A = this chain, B = another copy of it.
């Protein structure tokens, strides 16, 4: 059955394009078996890269991380790196998007009928490109987002390695539903020791006492997080990779989140109280400008191959 957004017979599929089961299709038609272990056990890994003004941003870093995640889970996408790269380009091309959110997933696949032996599963790989997604829309970035510090504990590294990008988000989603109840847009979770970890798809930074304090551990090694640290250091801003506490967050001058889905975005309210002056601060604005400017830098970005035949 086609989704309303997936019915176009031929590209461009502007609602999004996917590559799955060895072929391209509108993203609304991209479906996986309800028996895939990626569904029934969330036994899979993924990565998301973005395209901005026709260029992939830090594609190599994302492909490196995706390869490391698959190796850690003993998953084989059935494609080499060039093959993965080719279908990522293909999805953006077929969607005809200049600004895109581009996701790649490798799942354990289906076990043989009747078997409960994971080794009988043939892994599956798919990817898709969607119009660019903002965790916090540009208009919202003018005033800044409102964040809640959740009472839920982020799934700890002793259970699921957070450096393997994964879909284990029930803690994040329930925390987010609770944040909505408290008039917040974003949420951040703590670890078992009380330290700040991450939110629903974003890392968190706080500017406290003149330093920058990214969460020290228990988080995904975010590529945008890394970009921010590099850009801040280039700008002469000290970055202390220490342990970010809830107290730091509550008394910070500036708070921001980083994500492939939106870049560097200001947070101006934490737990109902204004951060600093209650407006996006100068450090956040400066880093955000540097971040978007770096998208034209060939050290960081790769042009989409729009002309290549699918």
CA distance A39 to B31 in the complex (A): 10
- State the interface size on chain A (CB cutoff 8 A): 64
Say yes or no: A159 contacts B180, CB within 8 Å: no
Check: A15 CB closer than 8 A to any chain B CB: yes
Say yes or no: B39 contacts A38, CB within 8 Å: yes
Residue of B5, B118, B131, B170 touching A41 (CB-CB under 8 A): B170
By a beta-carbon cutoff of 8 Å, the part of chain A in contact with chain B is 1, 3, 5, 15, 18, 20-21, 27-28, 30-35, 37-43, 46, 73-74, 105, 108, 113-114, 116-119, 126, 128, 130-131, 133-135, 152-156, 158-160, 164, 166-174, 176-177, 180, 192, 201, 261
4 A-B pairs with the lowest CB-CB distances in the bound complex, closest first: A31-B31, A41-B169, A42-B42, A153-B158
Residue of B34, B135, B154 touching A105 (CB-CB under 8 A): B34
**Chain B contacts of A32 at CB under 8 A?**
31-32, 34, 39
* Complex: chain B residue closest to A189, CB-CB: B159
- Distance in Å from the Cβ of A151 to the closest Cβ of chain B? 9
Copies per assembly: 2
Say yes or no: B131 contacts A116, CB within 8 Å: no
Say yes or no: B169 contacts A159, CB within 8 Å: no
Say yes or no: A5 contacts B113, CB within 8 Å: yes
Chain B CB within 10 Å, residue with most, of A21, A156, A164, A192: A156
CA distance A28 to B112 in the complex (A): 12
Contacts A30-B33, A156-B156, A159-B153; is A118 near B168 (CB within 8 Å)? no
Say yes or no: B43 contacts A33, CB within 8 Å: no
**Chain B contacts of A27 at CB under 8 A?**
34-35
CA distance A201 to B105 in the complex (A): 24
